[in-house]
Amino acid sequence: MGSIFSQKPEAFGLDISDRSLKMVKLAKTKGELKLSSFGNWPVPPGIIEEGEIKDKKRFGEIIKKVSQEIKQKTKLKSAICSLPEEKSFLDVIYLPQVKKEELREAVSYEIENYIPLPVDQVYFDCEIIRPISTQQKQLEVLIVAAPKKLIDDYLKALKTGGLKPIVFELECLAIARALIKGERTQKPVLLIDFGETRTTFIIFSGQSLRFTSTIPISSQKLTESISKTLKVNLKKAEQLKQKEGLEGKKEVFEAMIPPLTDLVEQIKTHLDYYHSHEKKDRLKKDGRELAKILLTGGGANLKGLVGFLIQNLKINVELGNPWINILKSPLREVPQLSYKKSLSYTTALGLALRGIYGY
Ligand SMILES: Nc1ncnc2c1ncn2[C@@H]1O[C@H](COP(=O)(O)OP(=O)(O)OP(=O)(O)O)[C@@H](O)[C@H]1O
Ligand SMILES: [Mg+2]
């Protein structure tokens, strides 16, 4: 929690995606949180691909421009930045009891069993999490890792562009901080971030994330499918997607069926994986059954998507509320940022919360 004695600088959240940069700054006054500033900047194709900076020069130019605008809005340059899911790793591992100060070393011996890179090529972090398993003798440890090269590239570009990245955080952790009330659940919840270029699955249970995975099925794929099937350009297809969704013209609905079927299959695969995972057996009985799916990301705004998923998955599906840990219940939007738009800002809101509550 934040402290009045904290020397840590105020910071904003910066969500770095393949096709956009999004910033949120929260402020705390008289114990209440409020939105102090936000912004969204497009990133043209080919500059960042699957989280990797492909064109350093152009990315640098974008950061320079964006950092000037952010400084005007917030007077700050300290940023809590997201790391792309595609290139990062997260797992929960089980270790024999070790002293807290020996944890990092213990993890460094184990981590190569869980990630596909040598330990000297990654930055990693670890944290003991409250156990939800029945095997209380072992420690449950959340490990996260990302390639050094990836982080060093981001660090260099952001610094050169005039920002001060003080924390890099996996996007899934920021999403969970934004969507899970009080950051704890009785039963596991599946969070799905349906974005422009990717969809991320996140299982959260107890007080921690348990699993994450990212696939290339995305809202953009729906637009492309409409464009191809109905022989309209991408701009028109985007308009049709947003206007008609799954509840309007039949031909638009039908044009989106192939990628939506892929999405449903992927959700089923992830649910099957979760249910059959060996770690499941370690869970207490009442902690196994999935409570619900929470949808977020701009793509979650597709009209009729919630109903479509409920029908095809036979599971409780709801839209998430990325303000749940910021505003008083049941508020889910602020005058400057509608609920629909807020779904695109879930990651940035989660990062901004970390900027408020310490890092
Ligand atoms: N009303 C709507 N109906 C359908 N789709 C929508 C609607 N509003 C926005 N979208 C879609 O949401 C997508 C943008 O989502 P979001 O802002 O979460 O993506 P992103 O964070 O930039 O990308 P990613 O996380 O995939 O890298 C776009 O593809 C857009 O078409
Ligand atoms: Mg996103």
Question: What pLDDT score does 39 carry?
Answer: 98
Give pLDDT, residue 287.
63
Three-state DSSP class for 303?
A: coil
Q: φ and ψ at 20, to 5 degrees?
A: -160, 155
Nearest to 305 by CA among 216, 199, 230, 234: 199
CATH of the domain at 164: 3.30.420.40
User: Residue 314 half-sphere exposure, CB side, CA atoms within 13 Å?
Assistant: 0
- Structural domain boundaries, residue 179: 12-357
The pLDDT tens digits of the residues spanning 53-110 come to 999 999 999 999 999 999 999 999 999 999 998 889 999 998 998 888 999 999 999 9
Is 7 part of any domain?
A: no
The answer to whether position 1 is within a domain reads no
- The Å distance, Cα 332 to ligand 1 centre, comes to 18
pLDDT of res. 100: 85
Q: Does residue 2 sit within a domain?
A: no
pLDDT at 25: 97
The atom of ligand 1 lying closest to the CA of 218 is 26
User: What confidence score (pLDDT) does residue 274 get?
Assistant: 82
The parts of the chain modelled with pLDDT lower than 70 are 1-7, 131-136, 277-287, 359
Mutation test residue for ligand 1: of 171, 196, 224, 347, the one with most atoms within 8 Å of CB: 196
Is residue 30 in some structural domain?
Answer: yes
Q: Which two tokens stand for residue 60?
A: 């640098």
Q: Report the pLDDT value the prediction gives residue 137, as an integer from 0 to 100.
A: 78
Given this model, what pLDDT does residue 196 score?
A: 96
> Given this model, what pLDDT does residue 1 score?
37
Instruction: Find out whether 349 and 323 touch, Cβ atoms under 8 Å.
Output: yes
Which ligand has an atom closest to residue 344 CA? 1
Residue 20 and residue 273: Cα distance in Å, rounded? 31
Residue 4 included in any domain = no
Residue 3 counted as domain residue: no
Pocket of ligand 1 (CB under 6 A): 17-20, 195-198, 218-220, 238, 241-242, 245, 297-299, 301-302, 344
pTM above 0.85, yes or no: yes
Nearest residue to 79 (alpha-carbon basis) of 148, 156, 159, 3: 159
| Strands (DSSP E) found in 112-207 | 122-128, 139-147, 164-170, 185-194, 199-206
Q: Please indicate, yes or no, if residue 199 is contained in any of the structural domains.
A: yes
- pLDDT score at 279: 57
SS3 47: coil
Q: What pLDDT, on the 0 to 100 scale, is given for residue 357?
A: 76
Per-residue model confidence (pLDDT) at position 289: 81
Residue 164 lies in a domain: yes
Q: Report how many domains make up the chain.
A: 1
Sorted by sequence, the CB contacts under 8 Å of residue 207 that are 6+ apart come out as: 129, 130, 183, 184
